[in-house]
A and B are shown apart, each in its own frame.
Chain A
């Protein structure tokens, strides 16, 4: 097993989407028998990189070589045939087919031209066992499995293809800790067998445990490649985000002391098994953060507050008065005055083919209406104001909002809600996939909004944002508030420790190497 010569090599690969450079002269070497981690912020190009490798997307230029031979992949099937298999987060499972059907989908075993179900079952069971999913029934329809099980099926499916290079794209984000242990055992075994593994994740502790070497991507470029353990976490973070990051957050305003009842108060909110007895308050001028690992109920909490979920128990009080919010329409109304910046701007926040103008005025449309008829001048004035206020860069207001960059799209979503002059603003990971410049603008905006008296609840997967923007942070674990951190208590260590449900003292004391940021 010659480790020196790379099995796969990517040179000078570039890819643009409109005005956005997803990859810029990207370079990568992948070796047999090694786990190679890829780190980078959202939008750094990691996702595009593997899509190019997996044949999902065609690069604009550059070359790829496999075993020294130049290759190109016109579609995912050809990449698979070459031995490059990618495990996506769950996009490639067919919901209405069974687990076994899915595992063999690209090459089902056949007998006399028909699919051999028994052979299929054997292959599926074997693959599931290898992937740590022996408890999953091969005949279960995939759509009925919870996300963590589906991830295991996705891994089994990849293994059944007998790959030479296995790419995992945030493959453990939906897994429980126990599952991760099992999966890592599988990956280590595969590594020993000579498989090349590409592991994309933002979980530093996982990378420390499994990876042999790491590559950092920033702005579509390969910034550095190094052996695991040879760089400190701070150095890695600096490489990921670039030096300009340190003074990005506006100074926080001290929490307001007031006799008035809090603008928003939640008591004992519960829903299904996903939200357990959550209570919180948010005063005017406060920025309350929601932290914790992915999928602990943060999104559900925001949806529950906004009236999207049915069967929610508990009380919500606005300005001290119990209020029932049964739909986004009611949440938006003057009594509640809530706004929700949703998780996925493309499918939940915007109508992409519609013009910027229509998207901007959409939530506040009733304000410009008399008897259902739109007052175009008033609407236009408000739109122009918002564009100026948020510095939205676009080619005029009549272009489809889908043609704007991610950052500007998100600004349109925020502007849409600001037109309503909301008093309570809920944000669901608003800066995901946004460039640094726009992020700064959004932080400034939140600061101004808080100063002008809004109560803000801010869910973010980025620790720095929580530290930089919030007066208080509620860390959620398994649907309940595990810990509340106030002002100076909000540190990275504390956030991580609470997220992982470990006492801060333990972390400070000696578990550092294992957690390792």
Chain B
């Protein structure tokens, strides 16, 4: 049947053709926001402010990186809230064990996150449970474990010095360490996506798992590892957050679920999988962080922030997130 759904490609110059319109719009919005903010107060364009925003954004950035990997596969990770909390709480808990504990705090927190991620991965890849459900269940289990561990009270343990350092310190030229962590993770992600067979496999599976399988790719292993990475990154986010506040807190990860999904989607990654660039996710993270910060500086009440948040997401998606017509 010669009914190929081919369409003539748009005739843009080659260089411009490579730019994803979603990413361009996202960055455009960032600039617009900064300019609008500067109308309110010139502080908005100062280096201090921008660095502060980037530092806050780095926590979301790390978590959103994990979410992006999972979304590229065509899946979703709803266990982010409590895996973040596990990362924060367990690393603080390890710190309370003295010298060795403090040393191993960060790896221990990450390990917990990776383990939860592997549980997700096994469920999705090998048991073919819809990711929405298994990650929801793992989220509930993680919450249960943490609630039981802390006895329902706020976690009392403090963060280790190392944790505080990577979250709040500054090694280089006044650039916050948190940002450096995000930059490293981000570079790793970009490298993964563009230069490794694993990254290629992720895009392929998100596009058409059947074809990837028939091409001889170990699709199940790739999916499981992807979820493990996502769990690890969520936990890293928790470690950073705990380091920032010097301690963990109940429900510390809750806001990050919707924010990370929104950041990934606003950055042009398709929620159905197979399409998206990391640059877009960076834009999405900064956009969301900026939006929240501007709204709070404007002393917009929480309710207004929520509404604007929702309206902005829908508005931007209507610009570039629409599906094709069936006919």
Contacts and interface: CB of A to CB of B under 8 A. Distances in A.
A/B touching: CB–CB < 8 A? yes
Contacts of A48: 1-3
A350 B6 CA distance: 14
Nearest to B17: A398
Given A17-B2, A17-B4, A433-B2, A75 B327 contact: yes
A196 interface: no
Interface string A45-72: 1011001000011100000000000000
Given A48-B3, A347-B208, A362-B204, A308 B214 contact: yes
Size class of the contact patch on chain A: 35 or more
B215 A374 contact: no
B327 A58 contact: yes
Given A328-B216, A353-B275, A358-B203, A348 B4 contact: no
B4 A57 contact: no
Contacts of B214: 306, 308, 328, 340, 342, 348-349
Contacts of A349: 211, 214
B140 interface: no
30 contacts: A17-B5, A17-B6, A19-B6, A19-B8, A20-B3, A20-B4, A22-B2, A45-B2, A48-B1, A57-B3, A308-B214, A327-B218, A328-B216, A329-B217, A342-B211, A350-B211, A351-B204, A351-B211, A352-B207, A354-B207, A358-B204, A362-B204, A374-B200, A376-B195, A395-B9, A403-B6, A403-B7, A404-B4, A406-B2, A406-B4
B198 interface: yes
Nearest to B204: A351
A11 interface: no
B200 A347 contact: no
Contacts, number: 123
B197 interface: yes
A272 interface: no
Contact of B3 (A17, A398, A402, A409): A17
Interface string B182-217: 000000000000011110100110011011111111
Q: In this complex, which of B9, B204, B208, B214 has the most chain A Cβ atoms within 10 angstroms of its Cβ?
A: B214
Contacts of A17: 2-6
A509 interface: no
A329 B214 CA distance: 8
Interface in B43-67: none
A338 to B, nearest CB: 9
Nearest to A435: B2
B215 A362 contact: yes
Size class of the contact patch on chain B: 20 to 34
Given A18-B7, A350-B211, A358-B204, 13 more contacts: A47-B3, A48-B2, A327-B216, A329-B216, A332-B216, A349-B211, A353-B207, A365-B200, A369-B196, A373-B196, A374-B196, A399-B9, A404-B6
Contact of B212 (A351, A366, A395): A351
Interface of A: 17-20, 22, 42-43, 45, 47-48, 51, 56-58, 75, 220, 306, 308, 327-329, 331-332, 340, 342, 347-354, 358, 362-363, 365-366, 369, 372-374, 376, 395, 398-399, 402-406, 409, 416, 433, 435
Contacts of B253: none
Contacts of B2: 17, 20, 22, 42-43, 45, 48, 220, 406, 433, 435
Contacts of A347: 208, 210-211
Contacts of B275: 353
A410 B196 CA distance: 26
B21 to A, nearest CB: 15
Contact of B197 (A20, A366, A402): A366
B216 A352 contact: no
A60 to B, nearest CB: 13
Contacts of B18: 398
A340 B211 CA distance: 11
B203 A365 contact: no
A220 B1 CA distance: 11
B103 to A, nearest CB: 29
B274 interface: yes
A365 B197 contact: yes
A65 to B, nearest CB: 23
A43 B1 contact: yes
Interface string B284-321: 00000000000000000000000000000000000000
A153 B274 CA distance: 36
A366 B216 CA distance: 11
Q: In this complex, which of B8, B195, B211 has the most chain A Cβ atoms within 10 angstroms of its Cβ?
A: B211
